[in-house]
């Protein structure tokens, strides 16, 4: 069911698409949302992070790219079958019930605003190429807050502003990255690569360690499905935007990283704070080209923050309208239905986290960044499990054998990739991640208290009764069963634990 129309009875996701009342994103804007959310400031430092492993890191990058594409295709299939904003939340709720939907939305919400804080801090480093070169803490905090609040203001201005801003920032950030991924390859020298496996350990260990870093780069590939209610013709455009955006990012990542590896000597690359800047300077000579890369990084960071600020509000809004998030998140403002509370609350939380990271708890902030990645992978895993569950239950009825085998193989690959991503986050991050996710259980209990009412129920109570157009018609039992909301985990457990006595 669409997150934007809760006055109608639940629709069968297999046959009915919800109305898109303010669908301002076409295919280009939706694709730009994916690219802009995936490619932030991290890509500009990625080659240095992978350099200690040597060129074998590119093998890991290819494997991670295959897993990311499997996830992109899986999200595309899910968006065709279960339309409406909310992405992983909607898929989890449709497949496994309210409790799974809530935990998915809770986990993803943490990812979104904590990730914004991480992007803002990385973004400051590129801004300080031109200002605050002494890296004074007060000025750095002020720059970071500007980076967080400018995208928030753009989002509050309305959906059309978001789409236009996203397209412009995506094009501007793509130009220097595309330069390295194309022209930069012409300047590659084999002597710059160094030893194939520079880690000093086994090849398998190097691939796993490098993969754990590389997989961080694809967080955000699902953003078109999260904002599907804002996309025109979502059943067609959301799958395409997800796959096209992921493919574009993959090409930039792989070819750009290869070009940097081949244009910056390995001995210098590992200690470089701005590897793309060093690579462009080696190609063009001087330092002017490196300044252009810094500008591109600034634009890239703003584009990523713009997209993620929208996502910070879209999923909680969908969950709130189902009674699975505080009701304040369900409110919208203006004709564009801007989720103002979700945008403002996420930006305030990200601002607080940013200030804390600069003043007291830098190491804690690093752990929170890793935690935000883990909390993003959990919704990925649940989404892949939701698709696999549908294939097992309904696939034989609705798909031919060839398509069923293909979709099952892609979904299993996406599921395995998600497990690998969690394993690569490290034991400590998994421990804190599980603890943070389970903190949502008290919030769920409070939301499900007896006097709580969903936004949909309140709207149904105030809506006028439908006009009588003929004899009363009763819905067939099969249709009623198909549109009934799936039972949540607490209900399932209660049914299992309650003994049944034969008559």
Q: Which two tokens stand for residue 304?
A: 């990523």
For residue 292, name the pLDDT band (cuts at 50, 70, 90).
confident
SS3 (DSSP) at 264? coil
pLDDT tens string 126-136: 788 788 878 78
CA dihedral 89, 92, 93, 96 (to 10 degrees): -160
Q: How far apart are CA 106 and CA 325, in angstroms?
A: 8
Alpha-carbon distances of 52 from 47, 59, 227, 400, 421, rounded to whole Å = 9, 14, 38, 47, 20
Indicate the range of 7-11, 231-235, 413-417 predicted with least confidence.
Answer: 7-11
Which residues pair with residue 24 across a beta bridge? Answer: none
Say if residue 4's pLDDT is above 70: no
Say if residue 471's pLDDT is above 60: no
Q: Identify the pLDDT of residue 383.
A: 93
- Report the interhelical angle of 288-320 vs 275-284 (nearest 10°): 150
Residue 308 near residue 323, CB atoms below 8 Å: no
Q: Which two tokens stand for residue 248?
A: 């574009």
Q: How far apart are CA 214 and CA 57, in angstroms?
A: 8
Which of these, 25, 423, 69, 82, lies nearest to 233 by C-alpha position?
Answer: 25
Residue 392 near residue 384, CB atoms below 8 Å: no
Q: How far apart are CA 411 and CA 247, in angstroms?
A: 18
Task: Give the mean pLDDT of 51-75.
Answer: 90
Q: What is the pTM of this model?
A: 0.74
Q: What does the H/E/C string look like for 76-126?
A: HHHHHHCCCCCCHHHHHHHHHCHHHHHHHHHHHHHHHHHHHHHHHHHHHHH
Which residues pair with residue 231 across a beta bridge? Answer: 25
Sign of CA dihedral 286, 217, 34, 158: negative
Indicate the range of 432-436, 444-448, 449-453 predicted with least confidence.
Answer: 449-453
For residue 148, name the pLDDT band (cuts at 50, 70, 90).
very high
Task: Give the mean pLDDT of 357-382.
Answer: 74
Which of these, 131, 112, 135, 122, lies nearest to 226 by C-alpha position?
Answer: 112
Mean pLDDT score of the chain: 78
Alpha-carbon distances of 400 from 81, 249, 405, rounded to whole Å = 16, 32, 9
Q: What percent of the chain has pLDDT over 70?
A: 79
pLDDT tens string 11-32: 444 444 444 445 567 888 888 7
Bin 160: left if φ > 0, else alpha if -120 < ψ < 50, else beta.
alpha
Q: Which two tokens stand for residue 488?
A: 């949540």
Q: How far apart are CA 7 and CA 9, in angstroms?
A: 7
Q: Identify the pLDDT of residue 172.
A: 74
- Report the interhelical angle of 340-359 vs 137-156 (nearest 10°): 170
Task: Give the mean pLDDT of 379-396.
Answer: 92
Q: How far apart are CA 243 and CA 75, in angstroms?
A: 9
For residue 335, name the pLDDT band (cuts at 50, 70, 90).
confident
Q: Identify the pLDDT of residue 362.
A: 55
Q: How far apart are CA 462 and CA 453, in angstroms?
A: 13
Residue 87 near residue 228, CB atoms below 8 Å: yes
- Report the interhelical angle of 88-96 vs 288-320 (nearest 10°): 30
Indicate the range of 13-22, 408-417, 427-436 predicted with least confidence.
Answer: 13-22
Q: Identify the pLDDT of residue 460.
A: 56
Say if residue 435's pLDDT is above 50: yes
Q: Identify the pLDDT of residue 214.
A: 80
Q: Identify the pLDDT of residue 432.
A: 81
Q: Identify the pLDDT of residue 289.
A: 75
Say if residue 240's pLDDT is above 70: yes
pLDDT tens string 197-234: 988 888 888 887 787 778 777 888 887 887 777 788 88
What is the 8-class DSSP label of residue 54? T
Indicate the range of 306-320, 386-400, 485-499 predicted with least confidence.
Answer: 485-499
Residue 334 near residue 75, CB atoms below 8 Å: no
Residue 283 near residue 184, CB atoms below 8 Å: yes
Task: Give the mean pLDDT of 64-74.
Answer: 91
Which residues pair with residue 333 across a beta bridge? Answer: 338
CA dihedral 302, 305, 311, 314 (to 10 degrees): -80
Alpha-carbon distances of 248 from 64, 69, 119, rounded to whole Å = 15, 11, 20
Indicate the range of 206-210, 343-347, 399-403 predicted with least confidence.
Answer: 206-210
For residue 411, name the pLDDT band (cuts at 50, 70, 90).
very high
Identify how many contiguous H helices and E strands the chain contains and give both numbers: 21, 0
Sign of CA dihedral 223, 418, 380, 69: positive
Q: How far apart are CA 32 and CA 232, in angstroms?
A: 14
For residue 365, name the pLDDT band (cuts at 50, 70, 90).
low
For residue 42, name the pLDDT band (cuts at 50, 70, 90).
low
Indicate the range of 79-88, 274-283, 357-366 predicted with least confidence.
Answer: 357-366
Q: How far apart are CA 10 and CA 23, in angstroms?
A: 20
Q: How far apart are CA 154 and CA 310, in angstroms?
A: 10
Q: Identify the pLDDT of residue 416.
A: 92
């Amino acid at each position: 069911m669409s997150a934007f129309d809760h006055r109608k009875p639940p629709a069968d996701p297999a046959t009915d698409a919800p109305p898109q009342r303010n669908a301002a994103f076409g295919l280009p804007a939706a694709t730009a949302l994916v690219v802009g959310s995936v490619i932030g400031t991290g890509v500009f430092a990625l080659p240095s992070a992978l350099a200690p492993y040597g060129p074998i890191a590119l093998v890991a990058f290819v494997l991670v790219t295959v897993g990311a594409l499997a996830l992109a295709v899986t999200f595309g299939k899910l968006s065709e079958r279960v339309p409406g904003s909310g992405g992983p939340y909607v898929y989890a709720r449709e497949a496994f019930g309210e409790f799974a939907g809530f935990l998915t939305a809770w986990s993803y919400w943490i990812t979104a605003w904590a990730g914004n804080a991480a992007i803002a801090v990385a973004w400051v480093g590129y801004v300080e190429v031109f200002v605050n070169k002494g890296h004074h803490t007060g000025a750095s905090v002020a720059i970071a807050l500007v980076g967080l609040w400018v995208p928030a203001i753009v989002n509050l201005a309305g959906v059309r502003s978001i789409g236009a801003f996203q397209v412009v920032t995506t094009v501007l950030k793509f130009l220097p990255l595309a330069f390295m991924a194309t022209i930069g390859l012409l300047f590659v020298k084999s002597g710059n690569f160094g030893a194939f496996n520079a880690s000093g350990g086994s090849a398998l260990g190097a691939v796993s360690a490098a993969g754990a870093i590389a997989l961080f780069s694809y967080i955000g590939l699902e953003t078109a499905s999260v904002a599907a209610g804002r996309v025109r013709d979502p059943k067609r455009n959301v799958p395409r935007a997800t796959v096209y955006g992921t493919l574009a990012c993959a090409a930039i990542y792989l070819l750009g990283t290869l070009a940097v590896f081949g244009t910056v000597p390995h001995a210098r690359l590992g200690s470089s704070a701005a590897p793309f800047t060093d690579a462009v300077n080696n190609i063009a000579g001087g330092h002017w080209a490196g300044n252009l890369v810094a500008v591109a990084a600034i634009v890239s960071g703003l584009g990523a923050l713009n997209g993620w600020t929208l996502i910070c509000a879209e999923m909680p809004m969908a969950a709130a309208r189902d009674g699975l998030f505080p009701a304040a998140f369900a409110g919208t403002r203006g004709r564009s239905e801007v989720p103002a509370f979700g945008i403002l609350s996420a930006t305030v939380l990200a601002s607080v986290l940013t200030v804390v990271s600069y003043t007291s708890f830098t190491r804690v902030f690093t752990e929170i960044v890793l935690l935000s990645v883990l909390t993003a992978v959990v919704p990925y895993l649940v989404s892949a499990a939701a698709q696999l569950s549908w294939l097992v239950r309904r696939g034989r009825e609705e798909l031919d054998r060839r398509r069923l085998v293909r979709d099952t193989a892609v979904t299993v690959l996406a599921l395995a990739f998600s497990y690998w991503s969690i394993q690569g986050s490290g034991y400590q991050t998994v421990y804190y991640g599980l603890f943070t996710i389970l903190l949502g259980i008290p919030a769920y209990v409070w939301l499900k208290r007896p006097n709580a009412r969903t936004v949909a129920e309140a709207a149904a109570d105030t809506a006028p009764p439908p006009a009588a157009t003929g004899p009363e018609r009763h819905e067939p039992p099969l249709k009623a069963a198909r549109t009934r909301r799936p039972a949540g985990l607490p209900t399932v457990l209660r049914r299992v634990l309650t003994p049944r006595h034969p008559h």
